């Protein structure tokens, strides 16, 4: 089993402990609320693809009339339930594949996919466009006219400047913009840990020893991270849909 798949199937609680101090300056929610979301007085209907442990659902819950979180990993959904209960919030969860969403067309005002789709670039190198294309088609199917599609992906953890961490991801990001008409914004989503030792202890299992060495060398209790926010309004120009 691939490294990240193993984490998502068996180490969900550790993953949640790692991301808990992420986005220390609250840039994620500000970036989402700054997008041209449709005017819904009662709150938006949100589909959160690859919802994981509920990072985006928790941020969006106060602004949404209903959220449905979808993920294929049962362990992540169990941790998601724990986070939902801890927040005293309400959203629905479905175990399903992002490429086959069990929802009716044009249901959502906002469809999000946070740090999920990019994995398909590495997991299916020979057919990544087909695999990712099916996910994007489903996002376009589920969103209502005038609604918004939002994809969040890494632009590197442990760097002082934003950049795709691999050539494969760079290719995928360019494809999103060129072929699918997504527009990108870059934000900082730094982690803030209590100490350098805690930063290493919480992140090494996920990011590996190279980042752990950089954390120690730079004395990073505040670990720099960059995130790309790709967005597209349904029905607005783009070469697909």
What's the DSSP call for residue 211? H
String of DSSP letters for 65-103: EEEEEEES-HHHHHHHHHHHHHHT---EEEE--TTS--S
Q: Which residues of the chain have pLDDT under 70?
A: 1, 236-241
> Would 25 be classed as within a structural domain?
yes
Domain assignment present for 204: no
What pLDDT score does 240 carry?
Answer: 61
183: domain CATH number is: 3.40.50.150
pLDDT score at 169: 98
What pLDDT is stored for residue 238 in this prediction? 53
Q: Is residue 207 part of a domain?
A: no
Q: Which domain holds residue 16?
A: 3-192+227-233
Spatial distance between the Cα atoms of 109 and 98, rounded to a whole number of angstroms: 17
- Determine the Cα–Cα distance for residues 23 and 11; give it in Å rounded to an integer: 21
Any domain includes 206: no
Residue 157 lies in a domain: yes
Q: Does residue 205 lie in a domain region? A: no
| Domain count within the chain | 1
Q: Per the domain annotation, does 198 fall within a domain? A: no
pLDDT for the residue numbered 68? 98
């Amino acid at each position: 089993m691939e490294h990240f798949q193993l984490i998502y199937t068996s180490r969900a609680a550790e993953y949640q402990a790692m991301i808990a101090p992420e986005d220390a300056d609250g840039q994620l929610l500000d970036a989402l609320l700054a997008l041209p979301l449709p005017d819904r007085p009662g709150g938006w209907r949100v589909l959160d693809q690859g919802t994981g442990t509920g990072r985006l659902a928790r941020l969006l819950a106060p602004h949404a009339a209903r959220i449905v979180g979808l993920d294929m990993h049962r362990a992540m959904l169990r941790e998601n339930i724990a986070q939902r209960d801890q927040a005293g919030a309400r959203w629905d969860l479905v175990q399903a594949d992002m490429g086959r969403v069990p929802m009716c067309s044009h249901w959502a005002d906002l469809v999000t996919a946070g740090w999920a789709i990019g994995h398909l670039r590495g997991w299916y190198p020979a057919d990544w466009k087909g695999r990712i294309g099916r996910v994007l088609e489903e996002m376009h199917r589920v969103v209502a006219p005038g609604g918004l599609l939002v994809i969040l992906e890494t632009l590197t953890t442990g760097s002082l400047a934003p950049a795709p961490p691999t050539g494969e991801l760079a290719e995928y990001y360019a494809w999103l913009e060129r072929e699918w008409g997504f527009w990108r914004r870059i934000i900082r989503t730094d982690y803030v840990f209590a100490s350098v030792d805690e930063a290493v202890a919480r992140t090494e299992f996920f990011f590996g020893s190279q980042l752990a060495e950089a954390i120690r060398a730079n004395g990073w209790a505040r670990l720099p991270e960059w995130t790309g926010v790709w967005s597209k309004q349904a029905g607005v120009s783009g070469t697909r849909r």
